[in-house]
Every structure is written in C-alpha cells, then in structure tokens.
Amino acid sequence: PRAGAPRPLPPLSALHFPITRGFECRGVMADVQDGHYDSSTDSLRVEPIYESFLCPLTKQIMRDPVTLESGATFEREAILKWFKESDSSGRSLVCPITRKELSSTELNPSIALRNTIDEWMHRNEAAKLDVACKSLTSENSEHDTLQALEYVVEICQRSRSSRHVVRKLGLISLISELLKNSSTKVRQKALESLCFVAKDDNDNKDEIAAGDNIRTIVKFLSHGHVQEKEQAASLLYELSQYKPLSEKIGSVPGAILILVGLSSSKIENLFTVDRADKTLVNLESCEKNVRQMAENGRLQPLLRLLLEGSADTQLSMAAYVGELVLTNDVKVFVAQTAGSALVNIMKSGNREAREAALKALNQISSYDVSAKILIEAGILPPLIADLFTVGSNQLPMKLKEVSATILANVVASGANFQSIPLDHNRQTLVSEEIVHNLLHLISNTGPATECKLLQVLVGLTSSSTTVQGIVDAIKSSGATVSLIQFVEAPQREVRMASIKLLNNISPCMGQELAEAFRGNFSQLSSLIRVIADNNGISEEQAPAAGLVADLPLQDSVLTRRLVEDGAFTTIISKVIMIRQGESRGGRFVNPFLEGLVRIVSRITFILEDDPDIIAVAREYNLTALFSDLLQMNGLDTVQIVSATALGNLSGQSKHLTKILPPPNAGLCFSIFPCLSQKSVETGVCRVHHGICSSRESFCLLEGKVVEKLVACLDHNNEKVVEASLTALSTLLDDGVDIDQGVMVLCDAEGVKPILDVLCENRTEALRQRAVWAVERILRTDEIAYEISGNQNVSTALVEAFRHGDFRTRQIAERALKHVDKLPNFSGIFSKIGAQ
C-alpha cells in the first residue's frame, strides 16, 4: 500500500475474542431445528434466534449491546478488545463491519435491543425448562435425558434467579434421582448439573442435601469413575460452603475419612485432591468434624483450635487429644506443635483445664521421641509439683495417677535426667530428696499410682549412669524391705514393675536383697511361682529369673531354700523345654533362659564338703545339662555360666572319684619286687586315677566335655574364653595327674588354642589364666621341647614375666625355665606362693 494509506484489516476469523457463556447460534439452531421442538407428544415452539441478537465479532448472543457511530452493534467487551488490538498494532480505528474509519470510540448502549434479547432469552429459558421437566419426569432415552440436563446447566449459568426457578419447578429432586441412574454419563451429568444449581444459592443447597443425597454423593468419591469422582468432589465442595450443611456432611459415615484420603492422595487428579482439601477446610466450621478429621490423621485443624480457639474450645480440643489413638509419627507432630501450650496449661490452668492437658500429654508422651520433645518444653517441673503437692492445691488421686503415668512415659524415653533441673535448687529426678519423695509416695498411694511410680524408678535404674544414685537413695531411705513386699502384690502390673526394679538394682545391692529375702522366704517363693508360670514366657518372668540369679552365688542359705522348695526341679524342666523349643516367648526367651541357667549354676558354687548339695547336682545330672547348654552359640551369657559351672563341678572330681584299692602283691613279688610292674586298671580315669563318671563325679573326661570347652577357646567373647579355659584348667590342677591332663588336652587338640589365647593377650585376666595353664602344659618335656622354638609363645611369656602381677610373673618365670629361656639357677623371685 502507498504511504499514509490505512493498513489492510485482518479477516474477522483471525481475531480472538473470549467466549461469553451463552447460547451459541449454531447450537441453538441445531437444538430447535428451525424454531420447532421436535417431539411427537409436545407442540412447544421455541422462538428462532435472530441475526441481530448476535455480535458480529463473537457470533454469540449479546448481553450488553453497544452501537458505534457507524450504526453497527457489537458486544461491549468484544468491540473494546477490537479497539485495543488496533491501537497496539498501530492500525487506524475502523468499524469491523463497514470498514469505515471512526472519528470517535464512543459506545452507545442499545437498551431496546438488550431488553428484546432478555425477553427472548426468558421465553426460551421457560420453554427449555418445560422441556427439561417433561424429559426428567418420564422414561426417556439417554440422549434426551442428557439434553434436558444440559438445558438446566445452561439456564443456571445465567443468573441466581434462574437457579431459583429451577428449584421452584421441582427439578432438583428429579436430578437427584438421576444420581442412581444406570448410565455413567447420566450420573456424571446429573452431578455437574447439581453443581450449577447449588452455586451461590443456599436454598438450593438445602434441597440438594435432603434425604440421603449427601450419602450418595460421598459414595461417588470412593466408588465412582474418574469424572464422577471429580464432579462429586466439586458438588460436595459447593455444598460445604453453606455452614449449616457442614455437620450433615460430616455425619455421613466415612465421608471425612474419604475426603482426608483424597486430600493427601498421590494418585488422584489434582482437581479432585484440591476440591477434597477445600471441602475439609469448609467442614472445619463444625467441631465434630474437626474431631473426626483428627481421628483420621488430619490433626492440623484440631491443633489450630487448641492453640487459637476460645478457652472452652481449647479445653475441649485438649481433652479430645487425650482420647485419640495416635500413631508415633502423629505423637511427634502434636508434641512439636502443641506441646508447649499443653505444658503451660498444666502450669497455670484451672483444675478442669489441667485435667484436659494431662490427658493429652499422657497420650503424646507414650513415644520416646515425643516424650523428649515434651522434656524440652519443660514438662518435668510441673509434673513433679503435681505429684508432690499436698493440701488444698493438690490434684485428685485420679489425676495424680495420670501425672505418674506421664512421668513414667517420659522417664522411659532414656533422656539424661542427671542434667535436667527440676527447680531453682538444681535438683534432678535422681537427686536423693526427689527419690526419697517418690519412695514415700509409693508407700502411701493406691495400686495404680504405685505401679506408675515403680515404673519411674524402673526407667531411672535402667540407665548405667543413674542406677547408682537410685540405689544409694534406696539404701539411705531404708526402703529395700518395702520395695520387696510388692513382689507379692495381687495386681500383676504392680508386681511386674517391682520385680523389674529389683532386677535392675540387684547387681548393685545383691547382699541387701539377699538379707531381705532371708528375712521373709515367702517373697522368694513368690518369685519362684512367677518363674514357674506355664502360660508362655511373659515379660514378668525374665526379670524375676534375673533377680533370683543376681542374689549372691555363695549364699548357701538361699540356695538350700530353693532346693527345699523344689525350685530347681521347676527351673531345670523349663531350661530343657526352652532348649528343645517347646516354650514360646518371643523377645523374653533369651533373657529368661539366661536367668534360669544362672540360678541352676548356684548349686555348683556350694559343692565343697556338702554331701546334700552334691547329691542334688547328681540328681539333676548337671554335668550333662551344662555340657549341652555350652553349645548354645549366640547366647554368650549361657555359655559363660555353663563353662563356669562345669569348672566348679570338675573341681570336685578329684574328691569324688572312686579310688580302687591297690592289687594284692603275691609272695613272689614281695621277695622279688623287681618283678612287680605298675598295673594299668581298665575303666579307671587316667586324670583322677579312680572310677569316674559324668553324673557321679562330674568328670569332664568321662562326660566328653573337653572337646566342647576347647571349641569355646576360639570364641569372640573374652568372658566365654576365660570361663572355658578355667574349666579346662581343672584337668591340670593339683591333686590330679597333670601329665595325663596334658595328654587329654593334646588328644582334644586343645594345647594350640591355649597357646593362642596366651599369645593374643586379649585381657589381663585371660593372660593370667593362660600363663598358669601353659606353665602346667610345659612341664611335659616333649611339649616344652617342641614349643621352645615358638617365638610367639616365648615373647608372650616374656611379656607376662615383665608386666604381670607378682603371681603371674612367678608362674611366667617357671614357664620360661621349661623352655630354657631362663637359667634354672635364677633366683629373681622367691618361691613363696609358688604352685
């Protein structure tokens, strides 16, 4: 084009205008087919659409028609967009129809045309609603039903008054019935229609929610197709915006659970997830719904009310937290979010508020991670104050029980209570005065609180860093006897807590406990009854066995009492049942078995010069029992105790072996003693030179235990090695044939493992034991000669000679002489105490 000439206009089809919701010309004409509603039973005419109703730019029915100076009429929004695009592209302003340049952009409202269009639309809406009513009240094809629902959707989008008309015509109930239609398309369209009907109209929402419609809508959320689920979520969201319906929606069984699941779903489409979440936000206006959400894992609304609600609401929400069953992760979340607020209520609230806070804290504190968070929030000082306060301000006993439960939960978390001050005096839970107060309270309260306070002491004595402080306080308060009396309590929980506490402190005060039991044997008998219970292996039995096992091993009075009560018969039968896999008990089996084996081993510590106890050991064939238990790999304590017991038994063999009288020498041999030779008795133990047996004399050789003990010398646990070596050393002890004992070890291939133990030098105790055994072995010249060239053994003996204690250095000196590493005239050490 020549310079200055207007630029050519783009074709109308190239312009982009927003589509205003309304009746598209093409769609309307197709619907009405030249202005007639096609039905064999209805003669309704729908007025045809007029060309003048349509905007030339959008081809849509105009809602706000305006006229230009050119006389052409357009939709206001469309012509304004035309002007804006022309201006931004540098084109002259022209009329889109006439192409004439405009001198003004003034827009004159076409009121008459607008009124005509409105009247036309109202007439057509009425006709379409009539069509919809007739289609929905009779049996029609899927197509006709969908068309009727589309009419409703179109009409409802016009205005609120249109939605009011839909309700007045009774269409809501008709559409609601279609939610149960067999056609997926019809159900989906019905849900969509109800969404438009409900929008911004509370009366319509009330009618939609009538009957069991909400229940039906909720079912689509869990069982519907994807589109049905999406439309149902939208409809429920619309309904939830009307507060009076919040409680009704929440009262539908499973509604909130399904919505919570959808709101956190990773597989549903984002629109459905968003609608479910926003619906839940709307439902928070009802406290009942908030509680249901909390039950189903959506805690934020409840905690928000707990932190920000009115005093009554806070009280209600705190109490409800105490009623909830929370997962551990949720307990942590609640502790982090509301822990400090609940602790503050404990400190300053009225009695009712404190009760609610205590119940909530009881629930939260039952997980160690959340309990530690509460400790950081300062829960310990008010807890202790609640427990110890007396007088008019004290809590009722029922609430003291809750406080004691929380304290037990908190202590079970394993925090470092030595560093957590309770008051300005810097006292802690393990301070003597606090422990004294706890012990006093235990003795002056009911069984439920007794149990929880005993559990507090159980928790404090479970830590190696705090147990001694508790033991010292128990001793200084003289509470040992009063604590032991609880082992006879009729309440199982009290009895179990007491037994656990006594088991924890028994390594530190075994002698005091033994004295108390000697003063009242019935309490010891009560423990044995607990151990003897045959209903599986319980949490109570393991510490009961551990407690009895920790009593001083050399206390013959207690051991004899156990014999008299038949305790060993019961205990040994249980050991055998566990060994044979006949007893069940899960995590309690191993500690229970360890305790039982330790109790049985008590017999072996008081064998010396006691025929009655020796008879008991024979009766139960303890050598065979401990020989079998020695092979329980993975249970180090059982192996240590078994090896120790076998050593104790074997130490008595030299006294119990049956020595045969020497053979009668004949006259010839008396006259000619040179003809006499030392006879070798058949059936005689070569180590003990008598008739031995595993059962009667506890002989390791006859019991075929030597090889089993040798195998334990290679164990990773030094205590197992030490106990096994000690037992084997009884074959080299004074009073037996040491040379034959060495030969027995050789036959069992035990010499090299003993030398290895010496060379490894794992612990001082092992070195002392190994030096002693090696010196005895080296008394056999052939072995001494062979080992003399072993540099490792020589070095180990030299190290023991240089760095061992007095006795070990003496023994190492003799061993070095055996391998010619020291001259025989060496007099460095005196012979006092030599063995």
Average pLDDT along the chain? 87
Three-class DSSP category at 698: coil
Query: Does pLDDT of 484 surpass 50?
Result: yes
Q: What is the DSSP code (8-state) at residue 11?
A: P
Looking from the CA of 245 toward its CB, the CA atoms found within 13 Å total 28
pLDDT at 666: 52
What type of residue is 59?
Answer: K
The per-residue pLDDT for range 601-636, each reduced to its tens digit, is 999 999 987 899 999 999 999 999 999 999 999 999
Closest CA to 541 of 549, 552, 530, 551: 530
- CA–CA distance, 255 with 249 (Å, rounded to integer): 7
Q: How confident is the model at residue 197 (pLDDT cuts 50, 70, 90)?
A: very high
Least confident of 153-157, 204-208, 523-527, 649-653: 153-157
Q: Is the pTM of this model over 0.75?
A: no
- CA–CA distance, 382 with 399 (Å, rounded to integer): 13
- CA–CA distance, 552 with 562 (Å, rounded to integer): 13
Q: What is the DSSP code (8-state) at residue 66?
A: E
Longest dimension (CA), the chain: 165
| Structural domains of the chain, ranges and CATH numbers in brackets | 51-109 (3.30.40.10), 749-819 (no CATH)
Three-class DSSP category at 269: coil
Least confident of 155-164, 178-187, 638-647: 155-164
- CA–CA distance, 621 with 293 (Å, rounded to integer): 65
Least confident of 351-355, 630-634, 644-648, 712-716: 351-355
pLDDT at 509: 94
Over residues 480-494, the mean pLDDT reads: 93
Over residues 723-731, the mean pLDDT reads: 96
Query: Does pLDDT of 750 surpass 80?
Result: yes
Over residues 799-812, the mean pLDDT reads: 92
Cβ atoms of residues 687 and 737 within 8 Å: yes
- CA–CA distance, 149 with 129 (Å, rounded to integer): 10
Q: How confident is the model at residue 5 (pLDDT cuts 50, 70, 90)?
A: very low
Least confident of 138-142, 359-363, 774-778: 138-142
Closest CA to 545 of 481, 602, 584, 613: 602
pLDDT at 162: 82
Q: How confident is the model at residue 810 (pLDDT cuts 50, 70, 90)?
A: very high
pLDDT at 25: 33
The per-residue pLDDT for range 311-347, each reduced to its tens digit, is 889 889 999 998 888 899 999 999 999 999 999 988 8
pLDDT at 559: 94
Residues of the chain with pLDDT > 90, as a percent, come to 65
180 vs 643, higher pLDDT: 643
Over residues 272-284, the mean pLDDT reads: 95
- CA–CA distance, 619 with 639 (Å, rounded to integer): 22
Query: Does pLDDT of 833 surpass 90?
Result: no
Least confident of 427-436, 665-674, 743-752: 665-674
The per-residue pLDDT for range 381-421, each reduced to its tens digit, is 999 998 998 877 788 889 999 999 999 999 999 899 988 99
Query: According to DSSP H, which parts of 462-566 are helical?
Result: 467-477, 480-484, 492-505, 510-519, 521-532, 541-550, 556-564
Over residues 294-306, the mean pLDDT reads: 91
Query: Does pLDDT of 3 surpass 80?
Result: no
- CA–CA distance, 734 with 719 (Å, rounded to integer): 24
pLDDT at 824: 59
Burial of 680 (0-12, 13-18, 19+ CB in 10 A): exposed
601 vs 20, higher pLDDT: 601
pLDDT at 170: 87
Query: Does pLDDT of 44 surpass 60?
Result: no
Over residues 39-45, the mean pLDDT reads: 36
Query: Does pLDDT of 678 surpass 60?
Result: no
Over residues 754-779, the mean pLDDT reads: 93
CA distances for 502 relative to 105, 435, 445, 470, 691, angstroms:
98, 15, 20, 11, 45
- CA–CA distance, 25 with 28 (Å, rounded to integer): 5
Q: How confident is the model at residue 583 (pLDDT cuts 50, 70, 90)?
A: confident
Query: Does pLDDT of 515 surpass 50?
Result: yes
Q: How confident is the model at residue 682 (pLDDT cuts 50, 70, 90)?
A: low
What type of residue is 387?
Answer: L
Query: According to DSSP H, which parts of 286-326 are helical?
Result: 287-295, 300-308, 311-323
- CA–CA distance, 133 with 173 (Å, rounded to integer): 11
Query: Does pLDDT of 658 surpass 50?
Result: yes
- CA–CA distance, 334 with 279 (Å, rounded to integer): 23
Closest CA to 46 of 59, 29, 62, 24: 29
What type of residue is 445?
Answer: T
Over residues 91-114, the mean pLDDT reads: 91
The per-residue pLDDT for range 221-276, each reduced to its tens digit, is 988 788 999 999 999 999 999 999 999 999 999 999 999 999 988 888 899 999 99
- The phi and psi torsions of 509 (rounded to 5 degrees) equal -145, 45
Query: According to DSSP H, which parts of 35-91 are helical?
Result: 76-89
The per-residue pLDDT for range 201-228, each reduced to its tens digit, is 999 999 999 999 999 999 999 887 889 9
Q: How confident is the model at residue 46 (pLDDT cuts 50, 70, 90)?
A: low
- The phi and psi torsions of 280 (rounded to 5 degrees) equal -60, -40
Cβ atoms of residues 214 and 249 within 8 Å: yes
Cβ atoms of residues 329 and 293 within 8 Å: no
Cβ atoms of residues 441 and 479 within 8 Å: no
